Amino acid sequence: MRFAVSADRSTFTVLGARGFIGAALVAWLESQDHVVHAVTRASLPALLAGRRPAGRVIYCVGLTGDFHVRPQDMAEAHVGLVARCLGELQFDSFLMLSSTSLYARATATCEDAVLPVLPGEPSDLYNVTKLAGEALCLADPRPTARVVRLSNVYGIGMPPETFLGRVLREGSATGSVVFRESAASANDYISVASVARLLPAIAAAGRHRIYNVAGGSNTSHAAIACCLHNIAAWRIGFASDAPTLRHPPIDTARLEEEFGPTASNLVADLPTLLALAQEYRCSPSTR
């Protein structure tokens, strides 16, 4: 999909610029002729010490699949660094990336829903730290400090610790995949291209302080398995004791009202994703 070049040339500072989402965001912003400061963990201390104007800051720092074994690092990424950035950076806007996993125990998935957590549950530790980071942003008196809750983001270079990243890596390496969750399990997915387009728009002109950035409908594991078998002839199986994990559909009404539909369709994108992933693995020059 091709998007129009923005006539509004702005300065963006992307924190976590080497990560999956951060790198895609930097590439999109540069293609739109924005001034981009790509900040990594290594260069962040210098940015904070310099106290120079950072323009529109998008905070992409975070942990993914290894957060269970790195709780202190997770708390620092989701809370400690957020607090430092809010306190020490000079910004026009600040946008923190959170997660729709916060709705796991909720009865609704709109941005204003009550979000229960169980601090004693190891699986809830990720959500507790994300909520703390969100609370810091929303407690900031500047209305341009905002939060986006991302669903499952897919695209070239997605972390192998994610469900879809593991499936594609396993299938590409062996020609077969065993799903560890049942065929009836389902998640919401959004393409990294859509995310890279939407984040700067929200940072620049969002009328609210929290947005769900998601596809807006769930895709079942059965649909993914069928598609992968049809397009790649992979052998697909499901573990005999695989649990069924159905996440509630994410409410994207607020996002669509302001910025239009996300135009993400995982099943339709899988053939292209597989082809590009193969090219990516075979050609270091494309990395």
Question: CB–CB of 266/189 below 8 Å?
Answer: yes
Distance CA(170)–CA(237), nearest Å, equals 12
Residue 286 above 50 pLDDT?
Answer: no
The pLDDT tens digits of the residues spanning 22-73 come to 999 999 999 999 999 999 989 999 999 988 899 999 999 987 666 667 788 8
pLDDT band at 247 (very low <50, low <70, confident <90, very high): confident
| Cα four-point dihedral sign 226, 227, 230, 232 | negative
Determine the pLDDT at residue 65: 61
Side-chain half-sphere of 221: how many Cα atoms within 13 Å? 23
What is the pTM for the complete model shown? 0.91
pLDDT, position 8:
63
Contact call for residues 243 and 183 (beta carbons, < 8 A): no
pLDDT at position 60: 97
Q: What is the pLDDT of residue 281?
A: 53
Closest to 271 in 3D by CA, of 184, 168, 180 = 168
Residue 123: what pLDDT? 80
Stretch 98-113: mean pLDDT, rounded?
96
**Per-residue model confidence (pLDDT) at position 71:** 84
The reported pLDDT for the residue numbered 120 is 86
Q: Using CB atoms within 10 A of its CB, is residue 184 exposed (0-12), middle (13-18) or buried (19+)?
A: middle
The two three-digit tokens of residue 258, written as one number: 């302001």
pLDDT of residue 195: 98
Whether domain 11-156+188-216+248-265 has CATH 3.40.50.720: yes
To which residue do tokens 């995949």 refer? 177
167-215 pLDDT, tens digit per residue, is 999 999 999 999 999 999 999 999 999 999 999 999 999 999 999 999 9
Beta carbons of 94 and 57 less than 8 angstroms apart: yes
Q: What's residue 119's pLDDT?
A: 87
| Distance in angstroms (rounded) separating the CA atoms of residues 156 and 277 | 6
pLDDT in tens, 254-276: 999 999 998 899 999 999 998 87
pLDDT of 2 strictly over 50: no
Tell me what pLDDT residue 280 has.
Answer: 53
Exposure string over 236-252, b if 16+ CB within 10 A, otherwise e: bebeeebeeeebbbbbb
